[in-house]
Amino acid sequence: DAGVIQSPRHEVTEMGQEVTLRCKPISGHNSLFWYRQTMMRGLELLIYFNNNVPIDDSGMPEDRFSAKMPNASFSTLKIQPSEPRDSAVYFCASSFRTGVGFTEAFFGQGTRLTVV
């Protein structure tokens, strides 16, 4: 397995533009997470899917952010319109949820987003 695949690796966009980040989780995993990492706030959980269903989106900053998981092998995180404060590294991770928690979370290499 190639691991969690994210695209693009880097994205530079102008304020106000729409940005779409993509993620392909590891086959067989039933949980998918979108995290945002900054120096100031660390690794923040934005949204969590279990079996393709959004379970907790309480970390999504505001209505400008939306995430979808149309099937078990693909998820997107969209920001519209983007703002400079959205600049961060966005990670997608997948795992297998068990009865007592989660197995290892495998992370993609992240998308470094810069909004100018």
Can you spell out the DSSP letters for 34-96?
EEEEETTTEEEEEEEEETTEEEE-TT--STTEEEEEEETTEEEEEESS--GGG-EEEEEEEE-
Please choose, out of 12-20, 43-51, 62-70, 80-88, the segment that lies near other proteins by the rule CB under 8 A: 43-51
Minimum Å distance from CB 106 to other proteins?
8
CA separation for the pair 90, 87 (Å, rounded) = 9
Which CB sits closer to other proteins, 59 or 81? 59
User: In this structure, what token pair is assigned to residue 61?
Assistant: 């900053």
Residue 110 engages other proteins in binding (rule: CB under 8 A): yes
Residue 34 engages other proteins in binding (rule: CB under 8 A): no
- Which residues here bind other proteins, judged by CB under 8 A? 4, 31, 33, 35, 42-43, 45, 48, 50, 55-56, 58, 91, 93, 95, 97, 100-105, 107-110
